[in-house]
Amino acid sequence: MRTVIFDLDGTLADTSGDLLEAANVCFRGLGHGDVLTTETDRGTAVRGARAMLTQGFERLGQPFDQSDIDRQFPILLEAYGGDISSRTTIYPGAREAVSRLRDAGYKVGICTNKPEGLAEQLMTALEFRDAFDSLVGADTFPVRKPDPLPFIQAVKRAGGDPARAVLVGDTQTDRDTSTNAGAPSILVTFGPGAFDVASLKPEALMDHFDDLDQIVARLIA
């Protein structure tokens, strides 16, 4: 069965606003106020909690080490879980594209480096979870992307064949995951990473979800 697996943050949805707010909860708790902004740090947000905390501490210009990150990490996750979707938006055309794939007989799933519980919570809050046949998160298995196992298992859990699957993502991690799995990748050009995804040489680039059907059909005929 042909299968399309999607990354979540920066691919299906712009989650940067809620992620950055959760990080700023940490910095406010330390007496610094809001340190990160959506104008400057959206790309950092989709790289995860530890990347945001590191960026914030670096911006403060004060000495810090890994223990400071480790102390704030659970605080950030708790804050994010408490306000996970109020600033998050699904990218234009994503819902319709996933629906078209399903109608055409594809299996669809999610493979994200967001913790599985938070990913389930977010997709449910966005009323989008039921559109997907599988969801694999950062902690579903002992390894995470770019290890190929989460992608392969997302395909299998969706009822698909890893030999006839494609990964849609937005970062180097997604590109490396697809390479490690021996699968083609489609990288979106509208994610918040603010870098040239074409330089990663994916099998295809996608400017809008309206283009997904044709691209997928070409890559996994």
Active site residues: 7
Query: 134-136 and 107-111 as β-strands: parallel, antiparallel, unpaired?
Result: parallel
Burial of 82 (0-12, 13-18, 19+ CB in 10 A): exposed
Evaluate the CA torsion angle 2, 170, 26, 67 in order and state its sign.
positive
Residues 6+ positions from 215 with CB-CB distance below 8 Å: 186, 204, 206
Query: 89-90 and 134-136 as β-strands: parallel, antiparallel, unpaired?
Result: unpaired
